[in-house]
Amino acid sequence: MTSAVATSASTSPAAAPAAATAAVPSVRHAFLDRDQSILAFNERVLDWACRKEVPLLERLRYLAIVSSNLDEFFEVRFAPHHAARMTNEQRGVATVETYHALTQRVHALVQRQYTVYNDELLPALEKRGIRIVTHGERNPRQRRWVRDYFVNEVQPLLLPVGLDPSHPFPQVANKSLNFIVRLGGRDAFGRENDIAIVKVPRALKRFVAMPAAAGSKQLHFVSISSIIRTHLADLFPGRTVLEFSQFRVTRHSDLALDEEEVKNLRTALRLGLQQRHYGQALRLEVSAGCSDYLANFLLEQFGLPPESLYRVPGPVNLVRLNQLIDQIDAPALRFERFTPGWPVELTPGQSFFERLKRGDVLIHQPYESFDAVLAFLREAVEDPSVLAIKQTIYRTGQRSEMTELLREAVRRGKEVTAVVELKARFDEEANINHAEQLESVGAQVVYGIVGLKTHAKMLLITRREGARLVRYAHISTGNYNPGTARAYTDLSYLTADEALTADIDAIFGHLASQNRLPRLNKVLMAPFLLQKGLLERIDATIAAAKAGQPARILLKMNALTDEPLVRALVHASQAGVQIEAIVRGACILPAGVPGYTDHVRIRSVIGRFLEHSRVFYFHYGEHEELWLSSADWMNRNMLRRVELAWPVTDPQLRARIMDECLHLYLADQRDAWLLQPDGTYVKAATVAGKPGRGGALPAAQATLMNRYGTKG
């Protein structure tokens, strides 16, 4: 690492003692298990698929979200547990016991998924005239149509592979749909090889709409699995199909590169992306009726133990239900349309530069429109007084309007620098493409610092105003992605504050040159200052509590798993600091454990939108601090990523953030779950009891939707 640890004027809170934490008794209890906490989060998401008041297609989508999350859990988190099971040796925190505990919980979760799918959602869809028609349910007209579709659209793309010594078991890509077939009779050469594999190309639609009968308003669909299984015999003329099953394997997919040894990171990542589809197999999904013979054959081929087998009564990939949902035009079965409002602190058509001269601006997405951020960049691109634009690119989507705007800025003669994070998990290919597009027109593209992911969200604009250069910036808790900006809650912060924009400029310079990071004015930056600065603020609350002064910490984030910070919060609770945290996903900090975390209260809010904003509030004595950040309290964010946290000092903006991101969520009784001392979660609604006179339990997201957006 070429950068040296730097200090910042903003790192030490007022009156913070140097070693307050050390004076508190050491932690004696274990933390909660992170991976179990991730599965608990998915159980909370699945609850939305079970809620009768949620529109039917949205319930189906939540079911798909859980499946997508479980895919990522196996792809990213499960490999150490699998290795421990296979070697009977501990791998970090992973053991044979953790393997069995996690596997048992995933099996139960998957069973619940398919019970909801088969017993609740499919019958409910059928009552609404929407059916996924199986072969046995099809009338003669539908069977003729399916056969024609198979012959014309499907069969030409299928290539069955019979297994023999010269045709070994083929490479099966991660999460791809396949069939295994057991055949009777002999092949063309008189041999009795009985196993064949049929790969289903990703290009084929997973759900296909069948033509409706004359005058019928019903929507009938057929799955690609059903189409193929019905006509499997057509793929093996002269043979008898004795049995078959669809199957899908999930593989370890986290790219591991030794960046110190890589000469060209972009080229190495392209090669790694090709190999990702064929990593270590970790989970095998088959049809519920798959025979033991075929299941055991597959387990042996993939080198998996029996616990890795998941028999499912339905499609092996529920994520593909999204294709079905997208084909159904039924507004009554979806959430009421929500249109974000224009940010209340901005006037449409007004120059952003003129507005920011009067003070900072907050945009609360998705309640307020992300289009304002695009408009800010567009004004900079079109303004001849703007000389330079610098931006980080982490997750902007496959097709990025921001990338196009940056390309246009280059064409207009502006200096454009893009810090592109090539290692954004599962977005690597998109970011490589963005980098190449920007380089092709002459933008300066850099890839950050070896060994660190650039996760900070920054946009810096330098403008000539008279005899001087003035900086304007956008910093955010979330990504520059218009798609996720409609579904994730995040805070965008626009500023012309000289100290803050100078910090951002210095960080861009640090990332590009890898020179020492200069002394910062306001920003806490990971991996150098952020964790240290947060620990100091926790220490300050401990000192205040011991002195009998007000001491409180309020937090909102996606995950709370960094052990030094969690340990400090435990110490703070033992000192009497009141701690309330809104943690959407994984959390290893126990709540309300007598003598340990008595003063800790933790809740998770799962709603229509994905909670994504990060807000940190510290109250110690006479001092109050409010921070926004791109970072969750995770070890990787603190030590292996470039992250930002910045203070909000404007009284009106602070009050707004406190209300909208903390107080409303702490009062939520409809969508919130409360963490119990034993690590389980219970619905806040069950604790709150019946609604009051208002008629409905308070819900933060619904309140903000009503406040800022329009429905219908």
Q: Which residues are catalytic?
A: 455
468 is in an annotated binding site: no
Peptide bond into 366 cis (omega under 30): yes
Nearest CA-CA partner of 510 in 446, 416, 439, 438: 446
Cα gap 624→616, rounded to integer Å: 11
In this structure, are residues 315 and 287 in contact, taking their beta carbons and an 8 Å threshold?
no
118 is in an annotated binding site: no
Token reading at 608: 């229509």
Cα gap 448→426, rounded to integer Å: 18
Nearest CA-CA partner of 338 in 489, 470, 465, 187: 489
Give strand pairing partners of 223: 207
| Residue 281 CB-half CA count within 13 A | 22
Cα gap 272→255, rounded to integer Å: 7
407 is in an annotated binding site: no
Token reading at 480: 């520059």
Work out whether strand 338-339 and strand 710-711 pair parallel, antiparallel, or are unpaired. antiparallel
488 is in an annotated binding site: yes
Radius of gyration of the chain (CA): 28
Token reading at 623: 């001092």
How many CB atoms neighbour CB 386 within 10 A?
20
DSSP, residue by residue, 632-647: -BSHHHHHSEEEEEEE
471 is in an annotated binding site: no
Q: Which helix (H) or strand (E) holds 246?
A: strand 240-251
**C-alpha pair distances (Å), 309 with each of 198, 246, 296:** 19, 13, 9
In this structure, are residues 175 and 71 in contact, taking their beta carbons and an 8 Å threshold?
yes
List, in sequence order, the alpha helices (H) in 288-427.
292-302, 321-326, 352-356, 371-382, 401-411
Cα gap 63→42, rounded to integer Å: 10
Contacts of 662 (CB under 8 A, 6+ apart): 554, 556, 582, 615, 617
In this structure, are residues 391 and 379 in contact, taking their beta carbons and an 8 Å threshold?
no
List, in sequence order, the alpha helices (H) in 208-288.
224-230, 265-276
Work out whether strand 488-495 and strand 361-365 pair parallel, antiparallel, or are unpaired. antiparallel
Cα gap 120→194, rounded to integer Å: 38
Give strand pairing partners of 132: 221
29 is in an annotated binding site: no
* Residue ranges of the binding site for Mg(2+): 395, 425
Binding-site annotation: residue ranges for ATP? 69, 488, 584, 612
Binding residues, as ranges, are 69, 395, 425, 488, 584, 612
